[in-house]
Structure 1
Amino acid sequence: MKRRHYFIALLPDAKIQEQVTRLKQYCCDRYQSQAALRSPPHVTLYPPFWWPDAGVGDLEQALEAFSHQAAPVELILDGFAAFPPRVIYIHVAPTPALKTLQADLVKAVAQPLNLPPTQRHPFTPHMTIAFRDLTKENFHHAWADFQEQSFAARCWVSHLTLLVHNGRRWQIHREFLLRNLAHDCP
């Protein structure tokens, strides 16, 4: 049975994606950390899991049903933070709406479909700019570089995104419009 690697995320608008990609490229050029460049800038709602090709329709159907009742959410990016000794990221404010969206996704999609439990830590919304291949030594240099810098941006996200790994990088498999407009958003 053929399986592929997927994850579920929120992607910011094109302007923020461009800014974050430049930061990822800077980390690649300056600190030899290129792993973050293998996915579009995103906030992970459900981390990578293996899923059979034969079940992708069920996964898409569950995400479509969930997106009908979920509302667009605002991402508020504010400064840099780290998960020592390998990860540097842009902090994303854990707003009540974002935390609720993530928790509801787990209850409405991940649990009913028995998605493999891959969440080892509590949900900490963030946008990674360097990780995995960032050496401990380069982490210290990069963190000294970023910890004093500021970064601020915000945008409304109106789609959930299902990403799939093509063997080399993560790419968008499908987007799901968040349709519950009961909440005010621009």
Structure 2
Amino acid sequence: MRLIFTALQGVGWLTTLAWPFLVWFSLTHPGYRALLPLLACLFLVRALACVGRREVMKGLTMGLALAGCLLSAASLLLGRAHLLLWYPVVVNVALLALFGGSLLTAMPLVERLARLRQPYLPPEAVRYTRRVTQVWCGFFMINGSVALATCLRGHLNEWTLWNGAISYLLMGILMGGEWLVRRRVQAAS
């Protein structure tokens, strides 16, 4: 049973990563509108894969999967394929709300994640995790704003380039850069 859930989780992540290209393909090839129910089903599978799992961001993962499912279904039922373009905006708004909302609590999200590996964090590490949470909020604001602009502009190739390549590249650079900075900070302590 665990193998099935792992496979479903993998399909879910692949769906998320491939989303911009699947959307581009379905919008540029009208004969392939049958992808819309498939996309809805893949997101539904991702939501179902979250049931019974324990993870820090389970609710977010399930909510985003259901949002993808609803956008796909609405696009199909309403005949408005452009609704598919809004998924990256929804993702960035949700992540900004999650990370930003955690800054209003005693323990920001990055600190909670860090404490899963290292329950005791010195005060300088706590300050560092708060700063990293703020950096991620800035990233989600900028990335979400550009994703919104690409939706409003309506140029499908620009939308696909940003949401399917550039944003992933920038996210990877941010993750890698943060990892390098964290190593230096830990070495200096």
Q: Which TM-score bucket, shorter chain as reference? A: under 0.3
Report the TM-score, using the length of structure 2 for normalisation: 0.26
Structure number with higher relative contact order (C-alpha < 8 Å, ≥ 6 residues apart): 1
The TM-score with structure 1 as length reference comes to 0.26
Structure with greater helix share of residues = 2
Larger radius of gyration: 2
Name the structure where strand makes up a greater proportion of residues.
1
